[in-house]
Amino acid sequence: MSQELVLDNRLESAKSTAWWLYIIHAVSFIFSLGLFSVLPLAINYLQRPSTEGTFVHTHHSWMIRSFWWYVAFVAIGAVLFVTIIGIPLAYLVWLGAWLWKAYRLISGILRLNRNEPAAL
């Protein structure tokens, strides 16, 4: 039995867009600690409805959730930082948030490259 490879140009375009968004999120994350991730986040929100019903839709949701949880962790670290006693704990929270976000970006792009949905 032969297998036929079907290429859907719309799906490939959506996958390519998601891949570039992962890269932009990662570059922003490395060089600005996520400060400029608002730009790819807006694109994620705009692109997500057009990918409904595909595995790429989960990747947009994955990136959106990653961004907002990262913001929450950074805010928790900031609250801890304003207290003298919480400063060491704030650095630990920020380090944990950075490692977690790096994991989410790497894992997401690897799953996208394997044509798998993001683990929601």
- In sequence order, what DSSP letters do the residues of 60-115 get, joined into one string? HHHHHHHHHHHHHHHHHHHHHHTSTTTHHHHHHHHHHHHHHHHHHHHHHHHHHHTT
Q: Tokens 């947009």 label which residue?
A: 60
Rounded Cα distance between 95 and 86, Å, is: 14
Give residue limits of the domains in the chain.
1-114
Rounded Cα distance between 49 and 56, Å, is: 10
**Cα-based distances in Å from 112 to 18, 52, 58, 68, 72:** 8, 16, 10, 20, 25
Residue 119: per-residue pLDDT: 84
Residue 5: per-residue pLDDT: 44
Estimate to the nearest angstrom the gap between the alpha carbon of 65 and the chain centroid.
7
Residuewise pLDDT in 10s, the chain (120 residues): 444 445 588 889 999 999 999 999 999 999 988 888 999 999 999 999 999 999 999 999 999 999 999 999 999 999 999 988 889 999 999 999 999 999 999 999 999 999 999 987
Rounded Cα distance between 19 and 92, Å, is: 30
Of 57, 65, 68, 37, which is closest to residue 112 (Cα–Cα)?
57
